[in-house]
Amino acid sequence: MTNGFTQKAVSTQQLLLSLSLSLNMGGQLGDELCYPQYHNASCRKAMHSQSEDMILHSLLSCITLFTVVLNLVFVLIFSHFRQLHTSTNLLLLSLAVADFLVGLLQMPAEIHVLGGCWMLGDFICAVNYFLGYLTVSVSVGNMVLISIDRYMAICDPMFYSTKVTLRRVQYCVCLCWIFSGVHSAWILRIFLKQPDMYNACYGECVVVLSYVETSADLFFTFLGPIVVITILYLLVFVVAVSQARAMRSHIATVTLQRSETVKAKKSELKAARTLGVVIAAFILCNSPYYCFIVAAEYNLIGASTAYIELWLLYFNSCLNPVIYVFFYPWFRKAIKHIVTLQILQPGSNEGEIIPILSSINSIHTAQSWGWLMSMHISVDISEVKQMEVLIMT
C-alpha cells in the first residue's frame, strides 16, 4: 500500500483496500495471499467474519440493485412515452443514464474490493477509475444543467420556449459528456498510461493524484457546481413562492372555486419541498467525499471512513430517481403501464401520461391566437408557464 498523503493528494479509492483490510476483527491481515504464485510480492487478503461479510455484501448489493433498477425504469419510461420527450426530461434522462452506469459498473467493482484484493487486472483497474470519474462528473454536470433549466423556466417563462429548445439541450448534454470525458482523462492521464505504477504488491488497484489534479477535480465536480446549483435553486425558490402566491391572490380575486386556490397552494409547497430535497441530498451525499479528500491532503483523517464516504457519493445515484421521479404522480402511472405490460400494446407510446399538461398547453396555444381575449378571459402567460413548471416539479 502507498504510505499516506505526503505532499500528494490521494484519491479516496486508494484507501478502499486499506479500509477493507481493517474491517476484520482487530484490523489484522489474513495469511491467505491474493496471488499465491507471486509469494511475498502478492497482497494479502483481509480476514472477515462470516456475519460481517454477509451484512456488507447484502447491504451494498441491495443499494446496487435499486440503483440499476430505478434508473433503468426511468430510462425506459422517458424513452417510451413520446409526451415526455421534452428538453427538461432530456436532462433527466442523461442524469439517469449516468446514474445507471454507476450502479451497473462502479458499485459492483467496489463490492469486489471488499475482499481486500483486486483480481480483475490492470486494464479493468484503469477503466474502473476512468468510469468512476466520468459518471460522477456527468451526474454533477447534469444537475447543473437541470438547475439552469428550472431557473429559466420559472424566472424567465416568457422566453423559456425560445431560449431552451430541444436542439440546444441536446448540444448541452453532449458537451457535458464530452467535457466529463476530457476532464476524467486529464485527471488520470499518468495513471492510464501505467495503471500499476502505484501498486506496492500484486492485488492492488491504486491511483495517486497530484495537488493540482485534486484541486481541479474538487473545483469542477464539487465546489463550482454546488455554488451554481445553490444560487440558482434559491432564486427559483424565491420566484416560485412569490409567483405562486400572486397566482393564488389572482385566482381569489376572480372568484374561482376554492379547490383551485388550494391546488395552487399545494403546488407552491410541493415545489419548495422538492427543491429543498434536491439541494439537501446533493450536499449530504457529496460533501463527505470531498471533505475527506481535503482532510486527507493535510493528514487530518485516515482510512477508517473512506469506504463510507465513497458509497455515500454513489448512493446519490440511487436517490436521484427517487427525488426527480417518485415525487411526480405521473411516474407512478407510467410504472403501472410497465408492470401491467400496457407498454407492449400498439400506440402505447402516444398515451397521455400527464393529461393536465396537455390542457395547460391548449390554453397557452389558444391565448397565442387571441381566443381567450375574445372570450374576455384574463390569463397571464407567465402564470400559465409557472403552473406548468410547478406541475412538473
Burial of 229 (0-12, 13-18, 19+ CB in 10 A): buried
Distance of alpha carbon 45 from alpha carbon 382, whole angstroms: 63
Contact 139, 319 (CB under 8 A): no
Residue 22: closest CA among 120, 99, 116, 113: 116
Task: Determine the pLDDT at residue 130.
Answer: 94
Distance of alpha carbon 31 from alpha carbon 11, whole angstroms: 27
Contact 46, 20 (CB under 8 A): yes
Domain boundaries, the chain: 9-365+375-392
**Residue listed under C-alpha cell 481493517:** 22
Distance of alpha carbon 310 from alpha carbon 188, whole angstroms: 18
3-state SS, residue 45: strand
More confident site: 65 or 376 = 65
User: Cell numbers at residue 135, please?
Assistant: 459518471
DSSP string for residues in 300-320 = ---STTHHHHHHHHHHHHHHH
Q: Sign of dihedral through CA atoms 215, 198, 4, 112? A: positive
The pairs formed by 66-70 with CB atoms below 8 angstroms and a separation of 24 or more are 66/103, 66/318, 67/99, 67/100, 67/102, 67/103, 67/107, 67/314, 67/317, 67/318, 68/100, 68/103, 68/104, 70/318, 70/321, 70/322, 70/325
Across 290-311, b (16+ Cβ under 10 Å) vs e yields bebbeebbeeebebebbbebbb
Q: Is the confidence at residue 314, as pLDDT, over 90? A: no
Q: What is the mean pLDDT of residues 359-379?
A: 34
Q: From residue 302, how far is each of 152, 291, 293 by CA, in Å?
A: 43, 12, 11
Q: Is the confidence at residue 212, as pLDDT, over 70? A: yes
Task: Determine the pLDDT at residue 379.
Answer: 36
Most confident residue range from 152-156, 265-269, 377-381 = 152-156
Contact 318, 326 (CB under 8 A): no
Write phi, then psi, for 117 (nearest 5 degrees).
Answer: -135, 145
Residue 14: closest CA among 1, 27, 33: 1
Q: What is the mean pLDDT of residues 184-190?
A: 93
Contact 9, 214 (CB under 8 A): yes
- pLDDT tens digits, one per residue of 76-101: 888 888 888 888 889 889 989 999 99
Q: What is the mean pLDDT of residues 223-239?
A: 86
Mean pLDDT taken over the chain: 73
Beta strands in 111-216 (DSSP E): 208-209
CATH topology assigned to domain 9-365+375-392: Rhopdopsin 7-helix transmembrane proteins (1.20.1070)
- pLDDT tens digits, one per residue of 326-343: 677 777 788 888 888 888
Task: Determine the pLDDT at residue 147.
Answer: 86
Distance of alpha carbon 392 from alpha carbon 328, whole angstroms: 7
